[in-house]
A = this chain, B = another copy of it.
Amino acid sequence: MKPILVLKIGGNVVDSPELLEKVLLRFSKIKSDKIIVHGGGKIASDLSLKLGVSPKIIDGRRVTDAETLKIVVMVYAGLVNKTIVSVLQKNNSNAIGLSGADGNFFKTKKRISQIDYGFVGDAFDSSVNEKFLFELLGNNLLPVVSSITHDGDGQLLNTNADTIASSIAVALSKTRSVKLIYCFEKSGVLENQNDENSLIENLTYQKFLDLKISGAISSGMIPKLENVFSSLKSGVQSVLICGATAFANSDSIDEIKATRFTF
């Protein structure tokens, strides 16, 4: 049985309809069980601005107040999710859009910390109901997962899309082989942020630690990479970080110019 492919598409891909269509068309042609995870890109911020809901940032992190939660639910679980599903259907991929509340398949806990981040949900060990995902895959459906989860007690929660992708990959890998692909605007992990030619094609954990100490890796990339190594440690077969255009133009996943990882 072929590995399950979990593809996370980044916000910048969602923001570009042409690129998104190309990525989805390429994805549709892959013959294996597969799942897409997406966030929402700039659409949610643009909508907030138009509605006069000003973004609250504390210590560099966004706060999801009640009004912001409504906006991200509308944009992520509504507009972006259904747009992706309808494009995949056009490509003859039988997609089904999900938030974590649907089928109760992704439960999180509202973040408790000294800073009140609002309606933000953090994943825990048994967050993912993989049985539900296997049922969908078994019915030849392609789950399209937005980064909205719930607490099981009637509260929707905003959750980091990278975390959702890695949690799903880890949960499924208890039963099947899973490949996890992060597809975004850069060509992978760069040694020099301003030079697309400085792609690191194979990143070991030791090299990651070195780059972290030297400051070569951007602060935004650090949690993403910690997520990657943690997924590998927890049983995910392989992880790949690549550019959306490289993904869209690839003939084979194995040949994409990207960052691959080894412990």
Contact = CB atoms under 8 A, between A and B. Distances in A.
A103 interface: yes
Interface in A67-92: 70, 73-79, 81-83, 85-87, 89-90
A177 B89 CA distance: 30
A79 B86 contact: no
A139 interface: yes
B99 A97 contact: yes
Contacts of A155: 86
A154 interface: yes
Interface in A97-154: 97-99, 101-104, 135, 139, 141, 148, 150, 152-154
Contacts of A156: 82-83, 86
A103 B102 CA distance: 14
A82 B94 contact: no
Interface in A168-200: none
Interface residues of A, number: 38
A256 interface: no
Contact of A82 (B73, B87, B152, B153): B73
Contacts of A78: 73-79, 81-82
B75 A99 contact: no
20 contacts: A50-B50, A70-B79, A73-B79, A74-B74, A74-B75, A74-B79, A76-B78, A77-B97, A86-B154, A87-B154, A89-B150, A90-B152, A94-B104, A95-B101, A95-B102, A96-B102, A97-B97, A97-B101, A97-B102, A103-B141
